[in-house]
Structure 1
């Protein structure tokens, strides 16, 4: 119970976003990107396949929206990042005799302090809150055909952003890493049905505390921004690793996705969006 109280206090502090309205202070540009990705998925959940660790592999698609901007915190050296992600996948077992489908929605809010060891390089270090919900549905499983997923984590987060040119052609390379270190999640016990939980009220232990002892997860994200004509594109690779051993249930979700999409950078004034060049305090360029 004490862990839940500590986590709640940390989340309230993290989401507290002070707003300053000093007249004449410059607005910070918002860097936003919408990306579509496709890649391979590998799923395993012993709640769906009791006594077996059979993985299901296949393909999936994802849609991502990322927004980053500098804040006024720490003399304009802390940025805020928001990432919305939705992905679905269709997989099958090795023999091809049955299928499993998955779908997930997640949201990440992060704050990073900026270091500038050299003019072209930005190093960012900070933390983020990550919330995820979704399901894995196995076509062949009759007793427990679906496994619901819901997580809330505090993550360690770091980025490196490097701006360079090749024959006067501007490019921006970024690497980001996210690792959860404390959180809570929803998980039934091994063999426990959702009927027992929601209709009969057997809810003991279904929201356990998580850390490195029972959950290992990591996201690696590499992108490159490049202009073509009047547009800026972002292409990248997202590797997501998720391993869980809770309530005698073991599961993993692994994915490798290649993403591409458009990038915009603008300043918002009272709802009016105004295109700007990167002469402002850009979080990216």
Structure 2
């Protein structure tokens, strides 16, 4: 009897070893969640209205530097939840319709957000989430003697969404994406109509912070991009439509820009297959 048991165990050993060998690559696989960095240069046209400074629209050109950092989160399923940081610095140079006066604007913003993603048919990926961010800047009209500047400051909670798909352009993988962000709740700064900043400096701080929603503090960021992955580096080409507007205390501030975007993604997107079977890369963009 014991001889039959030993013989059965010896016959079963090869199949047991084979099953362990099949599971070894998965158990030894390392999950990599790289930080994808995108650095952009934007240039385009802008139109500004700030009735605190002037009742006229000023139009001209806008320049911006921006950065995006994305990463899949180490949750139970890192393919579902992603995190991103956004930061930008933009400068606007505008003139009034008669070209008799110039207005300048400088603005910086930073946001952090989370998004849930879903894999859809036809290779599409959908994400939806939210972000929290701050914006601060100034609009400057040199010809105004009493009130030459208007301060900009807001804290925004935004709804975000994106849709993307990977295609091939010859032998080059390309990630096409549509990215949308709409501030939905805000706390923003605005003085009373005609209130000089000198009064604020003297201590008149009443009624400077306002609650904002789509009705009195509307904004939108819409980026359409194509990322060409060459392996060690990827190139981004895109179009960025941006609106920021507010109407409170009989003061209307509006800034609308259309910009061409060109950017670089160091180390690429990882769309090209690499001979590293023991590493599973989970990218936050696709």
TM-score under structure 1 normalisation? 0.83
Report whether the alignment pairs 1:57 with 2:62: no
Report whether the alignment pairs 1:152 with 2:150: no
Q: 1:41 aligned to 46, 56, 60, which one?
A: 46
What residue is the counterpart of 1:282 in the other structure? Answer: 283
Secondary structure class of the residue paired with 1:83: strand
Secondary structure class of the residue paired with 2:114: strand
List per-residue Cα deviations over 1:196-251 (Å, max 9, x = no partner).
1122x111110111112211111101111113474211111111011210121111
Q: 2:237 aligned to 223, 230, 235, which one?
A: 235
Q: How many angstroms does 1:29 deviate by? A: 1.0
Q: 1:178 aligned to 176, 181, 193, which one?
A: 181
List per-residue Cα deviations over 1:168-202 (Å, max 9, x = no partner).
43110111111111110111110101111122x11
Q: 2:196 aligned to 177, 193, 196, which one?
A: 193
Evaluate the alpha carbon distance shift between residue 145 and residue 184 of structure 1 in structure 2; reply closer, same or farther with a 3 A threshold. Answer: same
Q: How many angstroms does 1:73 deviate by? A: 3.2
Task: State how far apart, in whole Å, the 1-side matches of 2:75 and 2:268 are.
Answer: 20
Report whether the alignment pairs 1:126 with 2:129: yes
Q: After TM superposition, where is structure 1 displaced by more than 6 Å over at least 4 residues in a row?
A: none
What residue is the counterpart of 1:21 in the other structure? Answer: none
Structure 1: runs of 5+ lacking an equivalent: 1-23, 268-275
What residue is the counterpart of 1:75 in the other structure? Answer: 77
* Aligned partners of 2:230 and 2:268 also within 8 Å: no
Report whether the alignment pairs 1:259 with 2:261: yes
- The Cα RMSD (Å) is 2.1
List per-residue Cα deviations over 1:53-75 (Å, max 9, x = no partner).
x1100112100111111002352
* Aligned partners of 2:234 and 2:268 also within 8 Å: no
Task: State how far apart, in whole Å, the 2-side matches of 1:209 and 1:172 are.
Answer: 38
Evaluate the alpha carbon distance shift between residue 263 and residue 279 of structure 1 in structure 2; reply closer, same or farther with a 3 A threshold. Answer: farther
Secondary structure class of the residue paired with 1:42: strand
List per-residue Cα deviations over 1:251-273 (Å, max 9, x = no partner).
10011111112103589xxxxxx
Task: State how far apart, in whole Å, the 2-side matches of 1:184 and 1:74 are.
Answer: 34
* Aligned partners of 1:29 and 1:265 also within 8 Å: no
* Aligned partners of 1:82 and 1:107 also within 8 Å: yes
| Alignment: residue pair count | 250
Structure 2: runs of 5+ lacking an equivalent: 1-28, 270-275
Task: State how far apart, in whole Å, the 1-side matches of 2:130 and 2:90 are.
Answer: 23
Q: Would you tell me which structure has more helix in proportion to its own residues? A: 2
